[in-house]
Structure 1
Amino acid sequence: MSPAGETLRQRLNLLVAGITGLRHSGRFDEPNLDGTAGDYISFDAWEWPQGVGLYGLVRLWQHTRDDKLRQIVEDWYAGHLASGLPALNINTTAPMLALSVLWKETREERWRVVLDDWAGRLIAEAPRTFGGAFQHDVSDRINDHELWDDTLFMAALFLASYGEAAGRRDLVDEAEKQFLVHAHYLADRETGLWFHGWTFDGWHNFAKARWARGNAWITVGILDLIELAEISAPVRDFLLAVLTSQVEAILKLQAPSGAWRTLLDDVSSYEEISATAGFGYGLLKASRLGLGPGGCRRAGLKALQAVLGNIGDDGTVANVSYGTRMGHDLQFYRDIPIQPTGYGQALAMLCLVEGLHHADELE
């Protein structure tokens, strides 16, 4: 293995230690933040940051086949099944994605029962907006008539992944529909970027925030959607065109450091590493698959270097913005605090795993 490849593997080991060691420190208790601090920081909780974190761990396990990683993931799910799962909403669906990827490989019945029940209830019970999109309800708030770009990663990818693995075309079709409806209302036709949200109560995009992590959910989400499931040709072609438009826009907005700002087109907002990791993963993957425009590989490698520079000696990823509700003005996004989180760890894992395919270019 090349020296650069060995460095990436060492950093990946640190990231695993970093995510499994996350605990609530009591720093945040503000009611305006998305959920409680314990829900969002501790690896022990069942919420969307941990769901994204588990996806990173499972993807890393697929690459390394390290039995210790699989054990971490299986123990996490077994513990929560024993204690009882939370109520279903968009954010609590996020941990089901990693479980579906795990089940596709292991076919253990204990996981299939849980996945099948959750998918069925998500389809039947999740509130929907005009056009049949999932309303972005979360554990502590009903967001009436609202679409968020986060929804596609937190819920639609699970339906595609489990639907493909279980031979449930109806679930894959639902995932396709969610991507199409969200793209219609959230993709900005002027820039190619995506807005954070849309409300049918007034028919507008809130602050018109071109929020970095939300855009990263789309870059990662479209590429992983077409990998996780057999997507019908017209939908695949449409989504890849949407992705190309977005990528062309973000390539122009990368900072000299290799990072992107939390508001992509606002130089007064801070550089944010979870989004940078998501973009780095997506750009490198698009380059490897021959799907992206020119410049993806170079920008992805710069992003990878930026991510590596933000991994501490304890494996904690720095400069990650905390959970972000829907903002009604742009200052809201500029003021989101910095906090290590499971999704920051996981997006960095995805970026570094993809980086292993390009290690020779880091020498």
Structure 2
Amino acid sequence: MRKFECNETEVRELIDRVVRRTMNIDFTWNWSCGVAYYGISKAWEVTGNQEYIDFLVKWVDEYLELGIPPLMVNSCAMGHTMLTLHEATGDSKYLDLALLKAEYLRKDAIRFGDGVFQHTVSSKNDFPEQAWADTLFMAAYFLLRLGFKLDNKEYIDDALKQFYWHEEYLQDNKTNLFFHAWDNVRQDHLSGIYWGRANAWAAYTMSQAYKMLNPFMPAWMQIGGALGDQLSALVRLQTPQGLWRTVLNDETSYEETSASAGIAAAIVINGHPLHQNAMTKAYEGILANIDEDGSVRNVSAGTAVMYSVDDYKVISKKRVQGWGQGLTLAYLVALLQNKELVSKI
């Protein structure tokens, strides 16, 4: 098996290209922006490019003057950017905003069962007693990051509880893949689809959470086991083009880039030695979907829990989407952060 390597100069150029295209999308304060700007924030971490921070500061400050929209699980994704802006600038207003989102999650977000976040896309009771894989990125991972930043045990424990219950509800013990959602009222997974991007949310956030924990924390084994089993299943579903499908186990569904980038990032972060071929194929496949202007192509539009597998298969993939840009940046950044994979030649 040949060891995977990528060229550092090429990856840095790709990062800058995708960042600059992302800067030219007019987002609102919501999850699409949260994922996209998470990607820009991660890009700053590995490049130190001050232009990226200056752009984020200007955008966020202008939005703060207008007033942010009502809080919900989905828009808590913007909390990731607040953590980076506080780190980069030292301005406490960004940390205060992150804390506002965290306190909403702790005290006001709708929960069910043993304190599980109900996924919400507005200030209303959108999906009664439903857990979505999306929540892991938008809320649980953010709360975990903030908890470690502040050494806040309540935040850390709550975040890890979300990881535990989302795994319990969503990961199929037979296939080790994640369903899109769980309905606690119906006691089922609704349409029961192994949606590609749902598995990307789970794999990417678990790979990041696992790095933050230590072996003396019970969640370390739980998250590590869930992630290892999931990635073992996912590498066997990779297409010959190096990508993953929007319905993972349906060969008639299209290959989807945001899911592929999130899954590939998790594979890189996890670093299993036998996944070198998967890394090589993913690199080729993802790069083939990045245009010269930094647009990430073949990204499915925002997707609710659809009624059938056929409904997932006809979701449009025509437009450039914030989550496609952000997850692709997360993947490219993961490559640079894994020094063993980077060649300077």
TM-score by length of 2: 0.93
Q: How does 1:51-90 map to 2 (within 5 A)?
A: 51-90=34-73
1:17 pairs with one of 9, 15, 20: 20
Identity of aligned residues (%): 31
Aligned partner of 1:324 in structure 2 is 303
Matched, 1:269 2:260: no
State the distance in 1 between where 2:257 and 2:6 align. 24
State the distance in 2 between where 1:61 and 1:165 align. 18
State the distance in 2 between where 1:137 and 1:53 align. 19
Structure 1 pair 211–232 and aligned structure 2 pair: CA distance change class (3 A): farther
Q: How does 1:276-355 map to 2 (within 5 A)?
A: 276-287=260-271, 292=272, 294-338=273-317, 339-355=319-335
Unaligned 5+ segments in structure 2 are none
State the distance in 2 between where 1:52 and 1:75 align. 18
Matched, 1:5 2:13: no
State the distance in 2 between where 1:220 and 1:267 align. 23
1:51, CA displacement in angstroms? 0.2
What do the CA deviations read for 1:300-358 (whole angstroms, capped 9, x no partner)?
23112211111111110000000000112111111111121111011111111222332
State the distance in 1 between where 2:279 and 2:86 align. 30
Q: Partner of 1:295: helix, strand, or coil?
A: helix
State the distance in 2 between where 1:231 and 1:76 align. 39
Aligned partner of 1:175 in structure 2 is 159
Matched, 1:241 2:255: no
Unaligned 5+ segments in structure 1 are 23-41
What do the CA deviations read for 1:202-225 (whole angstroms, capped 9, x no partner)?
100011100111101111101112
1:281, CA displacement in angstroms? 1.0
What do the CA deviations read for 1:111-136 (whole angstroms, capped 9, x no partner)?
12212222112211000111211101
Kept in 1, the 8 Å contact 2:53–2:88? The answer is no
What do the CA deviations read for 1:113-170 (whole angstroms, capped 9, x no partner)?
2122221122110001112111011128611110100001100111111111122110
Q: Partner of 1:131: helix, strand, or coil?
A: coil
The letter for the 2-side match of 1:261 is R
Q: Partner of 2:182: helix, strand, or coil?
A: strand
State the distance in 2 between where 1:46 and 1:249 align. 35
Kept in 2, the 8 Å contact 1:261–1:270? The answer is yes
Aligned partner of 1:187 in structure 2 is 171
State the distance in 2 between where 1:136 and 1:91 align. 7
Structure 1 pair 232–324 and aligned structure 2 pair: CA distance change class (3 A): farther
Kept in 2, the 8 Å contact 1:310–1:319? The answer is yes
Q: Partner of 1:354: helix, strand, or coil?
A: helix
Aligned partner of 2:82 in structure 1 is 99
Aligned partner of 2:235 in structure 1 is 251
State the distance in 2 between where 1:57 and 1:281 align. 15
Q: Partner of 1:147: helix, strand, or coil?
A: strand
State the distance in 2 between where 1:5 and 1:21 align. 25
Across the two proteins, how many residue pairs are aligned to each other?
Answer: 336
Structure 1 residue runs of 4 or more that deviate by more than 6 Å after TM superposition: none
1:174, CA displacement in angstroms? 0.5
1:49, CA displacement in angstroms? 1.0
Kept in 2, the 8 Å contact 1:196–1:210? The answer is yes
State the distance in 1 between where 2:211 and 2:52 align. 22
State the distance in 1 between where 2:80 and 2:214 align. 16
Q: How does 1:115-154 map to 2 (within 5 A)?
A: 115-139=98-122, 142-154=126-138
What do the CA deviations read for 1:8-59 (whole angstroms, capped 9, x no partner)?
111111101111112xxxxxxxxxxxxxxxxxxx33x111011011111111
Alpha-carbon RMSD across the aligned residues, in angstroms, is: 1.9
Kept in 2, the 8 Å contact 1:164–1:230? The answer is no
Kept in 1, the 8 Å contact 2:109–2:118? The answer is yes
State the distance in 1 between where 2:303 and 2:212 align. 27
The letter for the 2-side match of 1:310 is N
Kept in 2, the 8 Å contact 1:90–1:138? The answer is yes
Matched, 1:165 2:149: yes
Kept in 1, the 8 Å contact 2:70–2:123? The answer is no
1:226, CA displacement in angstroms? 3.1
What do the CA deviations read for 1:249-303 (whole angstroms, capped 9, x no partner)?
001100000011101100010000111111111111111xxxx3x4323212311
The letter for the 1-side match of 2:90 is R
Kept in 1, the 8 Å contact 2:39–2:326? The answer is yes
State the distance in 1 between where 2:113 and 2:81 align. 29
State the distance in 1 between where 2:91 and 2:213 align. 20
Kept in 1, the 8 Å contact 2:82–2:94? The answer is yes
State the distance in 1 between where 2:112 and 2:90 align. 34
1:228, CA displacement in angstroms? 4.8
State the distance in 2 between where 1:229 and 1:166 align. 15
Kept in 1, the 8 Å contact 2:72–2:109? The answer is yes
1:105, CA displacement in angstroms? 5.2
